[in-house]
Structure 1
Amino acid sequence: MSEKHKNIWIISAGLGSKDFLTYRAVKTASDMDILAGDRRFESLFEHKNYVVLNRFFEDVDRIAQDTSSKIGFVVSGDASFFSLAKYIYEKYSERIVEVVPGVSSFQMAFSRLFETYEDVKFVSFHKELKENFKLGRKTFILCGKNKPSEILYYLDNKIADYDKFVCYNLGLKDEKIVKVEGDYNVPDSGLAVIVLIKRDG
């Protein structure tokens, strides 16, 4: 495909807060003819042609039919970490000009807990509660649409010797981190991830 048909940028919105939005993301977004993403990211960018993705994959395909305009797709967190970017890579890789990285909930969670993350095991419950997986010494769990309390109860017999943290709305004004003690009656609202850290001994 010729260079003139490369017209798609993937722009990471980070955590959905201007505090953690990169300068590169803002600069790239301002140069787009069309900027498209989730409604919650619209306020991050002052763009006259921001298109809200209501039916994500279908809307991406519809917008991508335009091969002449500069199109920026805004994705949550970091583009390389469980985001809409995967779908765009699979369908439109030959048309991508640049992928602008950003701050992910994974990075933010471990920063808030003052923990390193080079040895972390990732688990995603985006679609369903998985049965066959192993926990690492440190484990990061994406809750998806599942409730944190349900996931903790589901993992109960595996996490007795772990410190358990539920991180809500990371990077946003109502950010909250709860260290789980005793039962698992934790809040189930907001954007949540779970961090498990195995206790020594």
Structure 2
Amino acid sequence: MEYKVIVVGIGPGSPDYILPIASRTIAQAQVVVGSKRALDAFAPSDSKTKVIDRDIQGVLTFIAESLMTSDVVVMVSGDPGFYSLLVALRSKFTPSQLTVIPGISSVQLAFARMSEVWQDARLISMHGRKASDEDLAYKPNKKLGILTDHEHNPSHIAQVLMDHGWPIDGQVWLGEGLSYEEENHKKLTLGEARDITGFTHCVMVVMA
């Protein structure tokens, strides 16, 4: 029998936003990999677990070894197809060894909170990475959905965007803790966002 690596998108965090098939798959899992927060919240009490940490190669090795005797469920936040561990998994395992269950991305939820479409948005991540000049360059009617982090926070990104030609009165929406009880969002201009503190790990939507 060939066992599978089942990559499950667990959404932005709240159980309310996990697809039923994802919940069922996690509940039946014997081996579960995920962030500490995800494992504490969703992993079955009798399952074997592995925390996803900075040692990605160690995580991949654990999955490969566990795959000899069981399916391995890998929980990733949001949707597996949007800046997740799936990239590393595809470098180690063949497509036939992988099963992917989609999830709701925090970016999707951010646009939903705004009652705004995202089909015409450029979606990028500045969480632990830099964006290209092409992604950041201003164009009339351009719309960006951005994942942020402590270093590349809204204040920093607002200045970067203005350096790339965005107007100071460009519209910004910030959302943090999306789907959790402590969810917080704010609407402001790029100029105001340049001076804001907090919102370090959030979704930032910018519209010209």
Instruction: Give your verdict on TM over 0.5.
Output: yes
1:37 aligns with 2:34: yes
Cα 1:84–1:138 shift into 2, 3 Å: same
Give the TM-score normalised by structure 1.
0.86
Q: State how far apart, in whole Å, the 1-side matches of 2:200 and 2:16 are.
A: 19
Unaligned runs of 5+ in 2: none
Residue 172 of structure 1 deviates from its aligned partner by 1.4
Q: State how far apart, in whole Å, the 2-side matches of 1:31 and 1:118 are.
A: 35
Matches of residues 1-201 of structure 1 in structure 2 within 5 Å? 4-47=1-44, 48=46, 49-63=48-62, 64-66=64-66, 67-94=68-95, 96-126=97-127, 127-128=129-130, 130-133=132-135, 134-135=137-138, 137-145=142-150, 146-157=152-163, 158-160=165-167, 161-181=169-189, 182-183=191-192, 184-198=194-208
Matched to 1:31, the amino acid is Q
Q: State how far apart, in whole Å, the 2-side matches of 1:169 and 1:114 are.
A: 18
RMSD: 2.0
Q: State how far apart, in whole Å, the 2-side matches of 1:131 and 1:188 are.
A: 25
Q: State how far apart, in whole Å, the 1-side matches of 2:118 and 2:34 are.
A: 29
Residue 129 of structure 1 deviates from its aligned partner by 5.2
Instruction: List 4+ stretches of structure 1 deviating above 6 A.
Output: none
Cα 1:148–1:166 shift into 2, 3 Å: same
Q: State how far apart, in whole Å, the 1-side matches of 2:23 and 2:13 are.
A: 12
CA deviation string 1:15-54 (max 9, x = no partner): 1111111111110112222001011112331412232222
Q: State how far apart, in whole Å, the 2-side matches of 1:169 and 1:28 are.
A: 25
Cα 1:91–1:83 shift into 2, 3 Å: same
Unaligned runs of 5+ in 1: none
